[in-house]
Homo-oligomer: A and B are copies of this chain.
Amino acid sequence: MKLRDLAERLDCRLEGDGNIEILRVAGIEQAQPGDLTFVANRQYYSLLRSTRASAVILGSAAPEGPAEAGHDVPAPAPYGVLRSEHPYLTFARALGLFVQTRPPAKGVDRQSAVAPDATLGADVSIGPFVAIGAGASIGARTVIYPNVVIGPGARIGEDCLIYSQVSVREGVVVGNRVIVQNGAVLGSDGFGFAKQPDGTHFKIPQHADVVIEDDVEIGANTTIDRPAVGETRVRAGAKIDNLVQIAHGVSVGRRVLFAAQVGIAGSTVVDDDVVLAGQVGVGGHLHVGKGVKATGQTGITHSLEPEDFVSGCPSIPNREWLKASAVFPQLPALKKRVAELEQRIADLQEKLDECLTRLDR
């Protein structure tokens, strides 16, 4: 594709030779001639000097040429430039233009097991060894990859991608344009037991609702449990990474980002736009306010106000955590200093008493 055409399709201002032929999109360090790359972050501007890319997506504020960029860019820049207000987003869109996917064939594979009363929308693709239960429905253009199991009464929306080995349990509702990566489980039984007088655990039946709204993405081998009463809900546009646990009765807000191995315990409400880094744990029955952020491995043990930024276990404000963590390795030295102070103060006390005694004489 010519750089000129890319500029048009990506809504960018073109700088340089529009006839450059672009074959691929690549990271700036790996890029070769024929590649389009990008720099969105000021700290990587220096890489522009050495890139072999044929063209670069740059933000409006990025160096425009030798005059402005000083020693940061060679003169003249040996690459074309696509100028964008949102260079990272433009890069993402450019990638989409070069992707060559092999969508599975439309239609229902003859080695699948689709219940006679299941409803299939137009142009669905149902792979081999897919089982679809009684009364389930699959929306138009949705792709169900091989070996997926959709339980009875489950409803999957339109334009979804459900990758291999996924389980969508009975009655689970999935919106439109939802992507479920391989091995994820939607609607497994919540972990709920009532202790009996003899110490054994009576299983609380978990048959209530699970709702995954539109435009959600769910990572590989992630598990989302169904509750006994009420519902587990993942709201529109939420993005959940691999190996994440969403317990029964949890409400996940719009546009949240949960990195891999996050765990949310039962009945917790996570508001919109929350961002949890990898391996964060959130306790049960909490309320995590809108826009909260937590760094990796944070253990959230109490409810949080909107826009809180926390770290540590138990979680505290990130700023406090950073400062306290910097002192933590000095704890043994600090303890020693306190002991020395105690000794010195005892010595002082003694000498002072001596002073006072001598004064009293």
**Residues of A bordering B, CB below 8 Å:** 25-27, 30, 86, 88-89, 91-93, 95-96, 99-102, 109, 111, 113, 127-129, 131, 133-134, 145-147, 149, 151-153, 163-167, 169-170, 179, 181-183, 185, 188-189, 191-197, 199-205, 207, 215, 217, 219-221, 223, 225, 228-230, 237, 239, 241-243, 245, 247, 255, 257, 259-261, 263, 265, 273, 277-279, 281, 283, 296-297, 299, 301, 312-314, 316-317, 320-321, 323-332, 334-335, 337-338, 341-342, 344-345, 348-349, 351-352, 354-356, 358-359
Contacts and interface: CB of A to CB of B under 8 A. Distances in A.
A241 B152 CA distance: 24
B99 A201 contact: no
A345 B335 contact: no
Given A324-B328, A355-B352, A102 B153 contact: yes
Contact of A183 (B185, B192, B203): B185
B149 A96 contact: no
B221 A223 contact: yes
A3 B27 CA distance: 59
A96 B205 contact: yes
Nearest to A152: B102
Contacts of A323: 331-332
8 A-B pairs closest in CB distance: A131-B146, A188-B220, A113-B128, A149-B164, A167-B182, A245-B260, A92-B204, A327-B331
Contact of A260 (B219, B247, B296): B247
Contact of A321 (B95, B179, B329, B335): B329
A270 to B, nearest CB: 15
Contacts of A134: 102
A273 B230 contact: no
7 contacts: A163-B188, A200-B237, A225-B242, A245-B278, A328-B331, A338-B338, A351-B352
